[in-house]
Amino acid sequence: MGELPLVLTVTEAARLLRVGRSTAYEMANRGDIPVIKLGRRLLVRREALLKMLEAAAIKTEK
């Protein structure tokens, strides 16, 4: 996997997380995936997604 862009669409984040598109949108609406709303678009900051994954990994390691 190459360098990720600064922001991802929810669909791109879904592919990285290996979940379905609708599941990713549900997660975004619940706040499980941190998103930025620009108009009608939901975008996921690369750093926020990586921090979310790191926090989840630490939680499961305990």
- CATH assignment of the domain containing 48: 1.10.1660
Sign of the Cα torsion 20, 24, 29, 30 reads positive
- 13 in a structural domain: yes
Per-residue pLDDT of 41-54, as tens digits, reads 999 999 999 999 99
Q: Say whether pTM exceeds 0.75.
A: yes
Is 43 part of any domain? Answer: yes
Q: Which range marks the domain in which residue 34 is found?
A: 7-61
Largest CA distance in the chain: 39
Q: What percent of the chain has pLDDT over 90?
A: 79
pLDDT reported for residue 38: 95
Please give the tally of structural domains in the chain. 1
Any domain includes 1: no
In a domain, 41, yes or no: yes
Sign of CA dihedral 12, 17, 5, 44: positive
- The pLDDT mean for the chain works out to 92
What's the whole-number mean pLDDT along residues 15-26? Answer: 96
